[in-house]
Structure formats: structure tokens, C-alpha cells
Amino acid sequence: MSNPLRLGIAGLGTVGIGTVQIVQRHAGLLKQRTGREITISAVSARSRTKNRDADLSAYAWEDDPVALATRDDVDIFVELMGGSDGAALASTRAAIAAGKDVVTANKALLAHHGHSLAAEAEEHGHVIRFEAAVAGGIPVVKALTEGLAGNEIRRVMGVMNGTCNYILTRMENAGLPYAEVFEEARQLGYLEADPNLDVGGIDAGHKLSLLAAIAFGTKVSFDAVELEGIGRVSIDDIRRADDMGYRIKLLGVAQMTGRGLEQRMSPCLVPADSPLGQLQGGTNMVVLEGDSVGQIVLRGAGAGAGPTASAVMADIVEIARGSRISTFGQPAASLATPVPAKATAPAPYYLRMELSDKPGALAKVATVLGEEGISIDRMRQYGHADTSAPVLIVTHKTTRDAVDHALGRLPATNVVVGDAVAIRIETV
């Protein structure tokens, strides 16, 4: 293991440059910790002339990432371009076929092609590592594949998109409406080029599907993730939730049940004094629950050059030390095809609606809820306009189907103004 480990890095954005900087800055430290020198042979990006915060003059340049992936002087292909298809997929497959190990930060690529890529890598005797693809600098993939390998995982849960958490906590702390904070996040460069990847829950859903595959020994099934973004969360919801002792988070939850694999990424209320409730800004948090270890809480920076590059280097160091863990913690051929299951476990729900200022309006709503088997735990009415009043209801445990049926019947009562909002309250 005394020969240098040679990297080919495709993608020189913030994470790519962050990775280059770590290799340059910590060359001696990395050699001490792995027993071999880690070097960069070549790099690739869309623009050769772009000004970057690193000296790249010592490295060969490839305009085509596929050419980079197949170079004889590259041992690990480091894919940091992003995207589920195109150059990222083509170059990753080329690297595997050419006898390279792969390290990637690309959750979209693995969410859509993870099982086939893992099978290809294992067939050729190579590994794909992707710590940086999930929750930035938090070592959650390593925790699941190694630290908790002796546990039956009961549940994976967490806040996995820092942009959404920034928007929700900024709305709460500054008292600003969603649209204003969304635009602020866009101006700060926090949003993806397609903002729906963030606020629509897609980015976080990619991450959840990867963790679920490891946790429950299944093929990645992103298409089965129930997705709901944060676009409908209003400043009124933020305030009312706080008034009732809750915070709103875009929360991912995956668990295996007797009916199949539940995966959902949606706004949820969590207790304000819980670890998830206290999570501020762009920070991520992942909660893992195992039968032997109980509950483990991992918290840290979910994005950014330093944290994500740190995760990339952790995978490179793991390979340099000779570790050959299967992509999803067990051989790809042994991963089960999951049966998708919708979340049916009962939970309390937060309901917000605007009621007409008419006698008996609240009684009509309570009747509909009761007929659907939904009992009311708490209810509050706030200052109202001339013709309507906002009402907040927290239910006892019920199912989402019952809530949806009730919401579908409310317009017929002629006392509800506009659409009612329902948000699950999650036990953490």
C-alpha cells in the first residue's frame, strides 16, 4: 500500500475546489493517517479559464470527464459534477469499467441509478462511496454501514436540506413571509438553479432514499418517497405552531413496517424543545434508531465547501486504508426490492382553517371531524376579520387518510374560507 493513491476530480465547484484544497493543505496528515501519499493526477470542469481559489497548474486537464475517468494515472474517480444523468452517469460508468473506485457527492445520481451502479462496481471488484451525498459533513453513511451495523434499524429521521431549514427558521425569527425569505435565500445563493429541488423536498428526498436503502437493506426507491415541499407553510403556521409549543421542519422519515417501506419527506411539527425543534439555520440533523443502541442524534453542517469536501476526503481516506465496504452496506445482489407503503401510523395533526363568522360554524367542523373518527385535543381561535376568523386545531392521534377525508368534506359545510392546512405532528 506504499504506492500513491491518485485522484481524478471531475467538477471544480465549491466542493471540488474544497477537496483540492484539503489534499494540498493536509498532504502530510493524510499520509500519516493512511500510510500512503494521496495525490491528484488530473481534473476536469466545464471551463478551463475560470478563476478558482486553488492552484491547479500541477494537474493534467481533461475537457471530457469520461476521458478523465479512464486515465491510467487515476485510481479513484471523484465525481463532483452533479446531475442524475449525462456526464455524471457516463463518466461514473466509464470509471467502473476502467477499473476505478468512485467517490461521489451526487445524491441525484445514486437516487436514480444507485443499485445498478453498485452492482456494476461490485462485479468489477470496486467500490462506490458517497458520504458527501447525504447531510454534508455529517458522517451518517459511515454510522449506518459501520457503527450501527449490529443493529436492526427501526427508524431514520431528520432535517436533510439546509436551505429549507434556513427558510423556515428565518421566517420564524424575523417574522417574514415565505415569499420574502425565499427571495432572500435566492439572492444569497442558497437555492439550486431549479429551486424546487430544495423547497419541493426533492433534494432531501434523494438523501432519504439513500439512507433508507442502507438502513433497511433494500434497493434505492426514490420514486416511492412521498414528497411535499414547504411552499404552503405560511408565517401564520409558523406563529401558531410556536404558540402551541412546536416548530415546523421539512422532515424526512423512513421506517420498515409490516406493510412495507415508508418513506416521506414533508413539513412536520416537532416539539420546540426537542433536538430537531432547536435546529437553526442551514444545519442538518439525522436521527437514527436501532434496536440495541436506541436513538443516535447526528448534527452538523449539511452543505458548503468545507463540510462536504471533508466528507469526500473521508471516503478517499477509507479507500486508501484498504476498506472495501459494499456501496449500501451489503452486496447489491442481496438488496431486497422494497414494497412501498404509505404512512398509516396514527399521529396528531395540526389543522389550520379560516371559518366564516357564522353561528354554529365551529360545531359543523367538529361534526365532520367526529364523523371521520378524529377527536380534538386542543383548539384556539385568534383575532378575526369582519367576516371570518382563523382557528387552530390539534387533534389526537389519527391517520392521514382520515384527515384527508375530513378536509375533503369541509367545503360542503359552507363555513370554511379557502383551503384548510394539515401538518403532521411527529414524535421525536
- The CB density around residue 84, as the number of other CB atoms within 10 Å, is 16
Grid cell digits, residue 402: 382520515
Residue 427: what pLDDT?
A: 81
Q: How far is CA 284 from CA 34, 45, 104, 205, 307, in A?
A: 29, 28, 19, 14, 11
Of the listed 107, 142, 207, 249, which one is catalytic? Answer: 207
What letter would DSSP give residue 381? E
290 pLDDT above the threshold of 90 = yes
Dihedral pair phi/psi, residue 106, rounded to 5°: -95, 90
Average pLDDT estimate for 68-80: 97
Q: How far is CA 84 from CA 80, 109, 136, 184, in A?
A: 12, 4, 18, 28
% helix, strand, coil for the chain, step of 5: 40, 25, 35
345 pLDDT above the threshold of 70 = yes
386 pLDDT above the threshold of 80 = no
Average pLDDT estimate for 231-242: 91
Residue 384: what pLDDT?
A: 66
383 pLDDT above the threshold of 80 = no
Grid cell digits, residue 46: 466545464
Grid cell digits, residue 390: 382563523
Q: What is the pLDDT of the chain when averaged over all its residues?
A: 93
- Compute the distance between CA of residue 84 and CA of residue 87 in angstroms, rounded to an integer: 9
Nearest by Cα to 46 from 4, 75, 77, 88: 88
> C-alpha 59: how far from its chain's center?
33
Grid cell digits, residue 170: 428565518
- Compute the distance between CA of residue 300 and CA of residue 366 in angstroms, rounded to an integer: 43
Q: Quick check: 260 and 291 in contact, CB under 8 A?
A: no
Set out the domains of the chain in order of their start, with CATH numbers.
Answer: 5-133 (3.40.50.720), 140-301 (3.30.360.10), 349-425 (3.30.70.260)
Rounded to the nearest 10°, the torsion over CA 390, 419, 254, 252 is -60
The model's pLDDT over 106-164, given as tens digits with 9 standing for 90+, comes to 999 999 999 999 999 999 999 999 999 998 889 999 999 999 999 999 999 999 999 99
410 SS3 class: helix
Average pLDDT estimate for 317-334: 95
Of the listed ranges 201-205, 209-213, 250-254, 384-388, the one predicted with least confidence = 384-388
Residue 385: what pLDDT?
A: 63
- Compute the distance between CA of residue 20 and CA of residue 188 in angstroms, rounded to an integer: 24
Residue 277: what pLDDT?
A: 94
pTM, 2 dp: 0.92
Residue 25: what pLDDT?
A: 96
The model's pLDDT over 197-228, given as tens digits with 9 standing for 90+, comes to 999 999 999 999 999 999 999 999 999 999 99
Nearest by Cα to 19 from 311, 263, 377, 227: 311
- Compute the distance between CA of residue 269 and CA of residue 347 in angstroms, rounded to an integer: 11
The model's pLDDT over 4-45, given as tens digits with 9 standing for 90+, comes to 999 999 999 999 999 999 999 999 999 999 999 999 999 999
Helix axes 178-187, 162-174, angle to 10 degrees: 130
Edge to edge, the sheet with strand 5-10 lists: 60-61, 38-44, 5-10, 76-79, 101-104, 128-129
Q: What is the CA radius of gyration of the chain?
A: 24
Rounded to the nearest 10°, the torsion over CA 168, 173, 179, 184 is -100
Q: How far is CA 153 from CA 150, 157, 333, 347, 393, in A?
A: 9, 11, 20, 21, 33
Query: What band does 251 get if pLDDT is binned at 50, 70 and 90?
Result: very high
Q: How many residues are given for the chain?
A: 428
Q: How far is CA 236 from CA 37, 168, 239, 391, in A?
A: 56, 12, 5, 11
Grid cell digits, residue 315: 471516503
Tell me, yes or no, if 207 is annotated catalytic.
yes
Exposure b/e, 216-228, CB count within 10 A at least 16 = b: bbbbbbbebbbbb
